[in-house]
Structure 1
C-alpha cells in the first residue's frame, strides 16, 4: 500500500473527491454518532487505503459540520478500536491501520455476518442502484472530465495487484454511482457497498472470476461512454448477478438441516 504523505491530497477536495458520496453534513442532535458512522464507512469501503492519511481535522470537521472537539472524540474511538493511529510531526495526521484478522480464524465471524445481514435484500438493493446508475450515466452522457474520471477508475483496476483489487473495484463502482448525478443514489450506494464489501471479505479472491469481472467492467464503461443505456443496464445487471451467485454459493447455507428438507 502507499505510504502516508499523499493520502490527504488524494482523498479530499478537487474533482476526483472519492469521499464525496460518503462524507456529508450530519444532522443536529446526533453529530457524534453520525460522524462516526460516516468515517467508519470510509474505512470499510477502503476509500482511504491502509497506511494513508485521512483528511486533516479541519477539513473533516467542515465537511461533517461538527466541531473539532466532536471530531476528536470520534477519532479517539477509532484509535481505541485499532482502526486508525495518530502520528505527530510535519508529516503527521490520522492514518488508517490494517484491519486485524478475526481471532477465531474467520468462521465464527462469517456465521455472525450471515445472521446479521439479509444477504438477498442487500444483493437486490445493490443491483437496483447499480443498474440504475449505469443506465443514467449512459442516457445522460459523460464527456470531458467526467468521462476521464470513469476511464481512470477502470484503468486503476487493470493495474491493481491482487491484494488491492477489491478496493479499486469499489472505487470504480462508486465513481459510476457518483457520476449518475444523484447525490442520494450515490450515498445509498456507498452504504450498501460497505455491506457488500463486508461479505466479499469473507470469501476468497478467485482469479478466474476477477478476469471475467474485469471484462465486464470494460464492456460496461464502453457502453456508458458510447451512450448505450440498454447495453450499460444489461452488462451491469449481469455483473451484479455474477457477484450475487458467488456470495450465495459461499455464504448462504443450503444444507438440508437448515432448509427444511431433512
Structure 2
C-alpha cells in the first residue's frame, strides 16, 4: 500500500482548483451550433451536400426543433449553410466552406476569432498527442470487421486523391474514423473538438505539396499498422505524424 509523504499530506497531490473552476457555459443553442460547425468543417457533410431533415437532425442532436432552427439561422447568416425551397429543397452546406472557425458571441451571433492565444496552441498540441496516439494504439488492438477495414483503406485513398483545397477535410475524416473504430462513444467528440482546434491553426499555414506527400506517407504507415494489429507501431506512426504538424505550427505560429 502506498503511504502519503508528509509533503503530499500537507500540500495535496492534486489541487482542488483543477476542478473548482467555471465549466462550459454553452447552452443548447451554443452546443447545437458547435456540433453543426464540427460536422461541416470536419467534412462529415461535404460542401454542397444536404443536411438531414429537420425532424431527423433535431432527434440526432437531442434538441428541440426551435433550437435547431435558431442554430441553422445563425449558420446561414454566417455563410456556412443556405436554404433552398421546392421539391429538392432543404438546407445545404455552402461550397466552398468559409475559412476560419467562428465562436458564438454573447448575443448568439457567430464571430471569427482574430487570434489564438499561445497557451491554447500548446494545450491543443499536447491534447492531440494524447488523444490521437491513444486512439491509433487502441484501434490496432480492435478486431476490425471487413467493412471497417475497407472504410479505413478508403479513407486513406481519399486523402491521397484529394485536391489541395479539399485535403484537410479528408485528413480530418481519416483521423475521426480511427477514433470511431475504437468503439468508445466518448472518444469521437473529444477528437472532433481537438481536430477543430488543430484545423483552425493549420488554416493559417500554407498547404504545400511536399507536406501533403509526407503526410500521406505517414497516414499509410498508421493505417497499415492498425490493419496489421500492431498497437506500438500504430502509436509510433501517429506520434511521428503529429510531430510533423507540431513542427509546422511552431515554425509558422511561434
Query: Which TM-score tier does this pair reach, normalised by the shorter chain?
Result: 0.7 to 0.9
Question: Is 1:60 aligned with 2:57?
Answer: yes
| Contact 1:44-1:198 within 8 A present in 2 as well | no
| 1:239 to 2:241 alignment | yes
Q: Alpha carbons of 1:110 and 1:223: their partners in 2 closer, same or farther (altered >3 Å)?
A: same
How many residue pairs end up in the alignment? 218
Q: For residue 94 of structure 1, give the secondary structure of its aligned residue in structure 2.
A: strand
Give the drift of 1:111: 9.1
Aligned to 1:141: 143
Q: Which runs of 5+ in 1 are unaligned?
A: 1-28, 103-108, 253-262
2:76 aligned partner? 79
The alignment's TM-score, normalised by the length of structure 1, stands at: 0.78
**Over residues 64-109 of structure 1, what are the superposed CA-to-partner deviations in whole Å (9 max), with x where a residue is unaligned?**
122222211111111112221100112111111234468xxxxxx9
2:41–2:97 Cα contact (<8 Å) kept: no
Contact 2:51 2:93 in 1 (8 A): yes
| 1:178–1:186 Cα contact (<8 Å) kept | yes
| 8 Å Cα contact 1:126-1:192 kept in structure 2 | yes
- Which one of 154, 160, 163 corresponds to residue 161 of structure 1? 163
RMSD after superposition = 2.1
Work out the CA distance in 2 between the residues paired with 1:78 and 1:110: 12
* Equivalent residues of 1:142, 1:224 under 8 A apart: no
2:136–2:178 CA contact under 8 A, matched in 1:
yes
Query: Any conservation in 2 of the 1:153–1:168 contact (CA below 8 Å)?
Result: yes
Q: Secondary structure at the match of 1:113?
A: coil
Q: What is the rounded CA distance, in whole Å, between the counterparts of 1:111 and 1:203 in structure 2?
A: 16
1:137-176 superposed Cα distances (whole Å, 9 cap, x missing partner): 1112323111111111111111111111111011001100
* CA-CA distance at 1:33 after TM superposition: 2.2
| Structure 2 partner of 1:131 | 133
8 Å CA contact retained: 2:124, 2:197:
yes
Measured after TM superposition, the shift of residue 55 of structure 1 is: 1.5
Which structure 2 residue ranges, 5 or more long, are not aligned?
Answer: 1-25, 101-110
In structure 1, the residue matched to 2:152 is 150
* Aligned equivalent of 2:177: 175
Bigger CA radius of gyration: 2
Candidates 187, 204, 207, aligned match of 2:189? 187
